[in-house]
Amino acid sequence: MIIDGDKILLGPRLSKRSDTGGIQEPDCWSLPGGKQEMFETMFEGSKREIKEEFIIALFLNYNT
């Protein structure tokens, strides 16, 4: 979930899209989702999924 103050990033579920991931809620708003791939860190998976869902790049700062 991406939160900025009191705002949350949501994406539209399109009614004419073939890849719905089994979710049948056309024309509604939802949180981006996906699965972590094998050998991928939580942060790598988050960045990849956001890029796939929203076509934007994230630059995450975190301490390991």
Per-residue pLDDT, 23: 60
pLDDT digits (tens, 9 = 90+) for 17-56: 665 566 667 778 887 777 889 999 988 888 888 888 777 6
How far is residue 11's CA from residue 19's CA, in Å, rounded to a whole number? 14
Per-residue pLDDT, 37: 92
Q: What is the DSSP letter of 5?
A: T
**Model confidence, pTM:** 0.58
How far is residue 35's CA from residue 45's CA, in Å, rounded to a whole number? 7
| Extents of the domains making up the chain | 3-54
Report the 10 Å Cβ neighbour count for 2: 14
Per-residue pLDDT, 16: 67
Per-residue pLDDT, 64: 47
More confident residue, 56 or 4: 4
- Vertex 34: Cα angle to 15 and 58 (nearest 5): 100
